């Protein structure tokens, strides 16, 4: 009998067909609606492999229902949606999709930074709502990006790719990371600073960390207070790293100038979320990696990891603690 696989969202045919050759594949087919928890709870009892997205909470209670499960292949680089400890305790491999989304996510991060600094969304609304009556000296003026200081919190792959883009804008670069990156310091001319100092000197603070117990609410009221009044906060990592209540207060009271957010603590963010009421916030629906080519690469890599794990090989993107 073929091993059983469950895929939690409709993936492109070419990816699913690759799996169908060797496995009995079941897929949650309802486009763009996450699989209901009770369906997943039922499916997980039977399967050998799970290909899931960041929208699924693969917690201890769910993992405990799995009898034959050998591998959970997440179609994302972040894996905060999976209880890794519970999986590992039960001998279940967990994989992610690093590398293939690095450049695409860095592009989006820089685009969001530009849109926030130069008020692009507000400007378009201004034009389309018929408010544009004349050219005016200080109308819709924003912050310069070129020559400004970018502070990168978390100098992983995406942080580094962002730094490369910033160099093209003649930006000064500082970073904070749990370990020093001496090679990157030399290569990129980026300077290490303790977090407090980074917050004080940066014009743009970019959050580029994974969400872990250590990084949860790493940016709260105290950290926002340290930032410049003209500073812009950009978060394309995970919502839970920034305390949204504190951020709302800081933006409303002009403790900082603006924020660009691609991620939220609760996703999809509720339409009555206070942050969505502020003019100095640019919001996006978690689209950091959303290019056609990159999403195909992510799906393909997740499928490959799953196949490797089920074939008894060590998948190339095995998550290790």
209 binds ligand DGY (CB under 6 A): no
> Is residue 238 flagged as an active site residue?
yes
If the CB atoms of residues 102 and 184 are measured against ligand DGY, the closer one turns out to be 102
- Min dist CB 170 to ligand DGY, Å, is 29
> Is residue 103 flagged as an active site residue?
no
227 binds ligand DGY (CB under 6 A): no
Q: What 3 state SS string does 50-65 have?
A: EEECCCCCECHHHHCC
From 76-84, 192-200, 249-257, 270-278, span contacting ligand DGY (CB under 6 A): 76-84
Q: Choose which of 15, 73, 101, 281 interacts with ligand DGY (CB under 6 A).
A: 101
Binding-site size for ligand DGY (CB under 6 A) equals 7
> Using alpha carbons only, what angle is made at residue 212 by residues 207 and 216, rounded to the nearest 5 degrees?
65
77 binds ligand DGY (CB under 6 A): yes
> Is residue 157 flagged as an active site residue?
no
If the CB atoms of residues 78 and 309 are measured against ligand DGY, the closer one turns out to be 78
78 binds ligand DGY (CB under 6 A): yes
If the CB atoms of residues 123 and 318 are measured against ligand DGY, the closer one turns out to be 318
Q: Which of residues 268-297 bind ligand DGY (CB under 6 A)?
A: 288-289
Q: Does residue 9 contact residue 34 with C-beta atoms inside 8 Å?
A: yes
- Min dist CB 108 to ligand DGY, Å, is 10
94 binds ligand DGY (CB under 6 A): no
Catalytic residue annotation? 238, 267, 286
Residues that bind ligand DGY (CB under 6 A): 54, 76-78, 101, 288-289
């Amino acid at each position: 009998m073929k091993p059983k696989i469950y895929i939690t969202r409709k993936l492109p045919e070419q990816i699913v067909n690759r799996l169908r050759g060797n496995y009995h594949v079941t897929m949650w087919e309802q486009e763009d609606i996450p699989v209901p928890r009770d369906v997943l709870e039922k499916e997980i009892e039977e399967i050998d492999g799970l290909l899931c997205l960041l929208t699924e909470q693969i917690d201890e209670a769910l993992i405990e229902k799995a009898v034959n499960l050998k591998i959970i292949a997440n179609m994302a680089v972040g894996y905060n949606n999976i209880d890794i400890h519970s999986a590992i305790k039960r001998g279940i491999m967990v994989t992610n999709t690093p590398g293939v989304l690095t450049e695409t996510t860095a592009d989006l991060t820089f685009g969001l930074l530009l849109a926030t600094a130069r008020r692009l969304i507000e400007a378009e609304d201004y034009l389309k709502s018929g408010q544009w009556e004349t050219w005016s000296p200080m109308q819709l003026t924003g912050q310069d990006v070129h020559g400004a200081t970018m502070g990168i919190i978390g100098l992983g792959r995406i942080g580094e790719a962002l730094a490369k883009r910033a160099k093209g804008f003649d930006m000064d670069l500082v970073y904070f990371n749990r370990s020093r990156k001496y090679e990157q310091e030399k290569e990129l001319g980026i300077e290490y600073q303790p977090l407090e100092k980074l917050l004080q000197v940066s014009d743009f603070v970019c959050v580029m960390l994974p969400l872990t117990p250590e990084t949860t609410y790493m940016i709260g009221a105290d950290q926002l207070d340290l930032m410049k009044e003209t500073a812009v906060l950009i978060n394309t990592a995970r919502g839970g790293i920034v305390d949204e209540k504190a951020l709302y207060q800081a933006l409303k009271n002009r403790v900082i100038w603006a924020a660009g957010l691609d991620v939220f603590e609760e996703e999809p963010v509720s339409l009555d979320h206070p942050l969505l009421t502020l003019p100095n916030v640019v919001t996006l629906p978690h689209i950091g990696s959303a290019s056609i080519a990159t999403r195909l690469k992510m799906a393909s890599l997740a499928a490959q990891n799953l196949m490797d794990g089920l074939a008894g090989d060590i998948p190339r993107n095995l998550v290790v603690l």
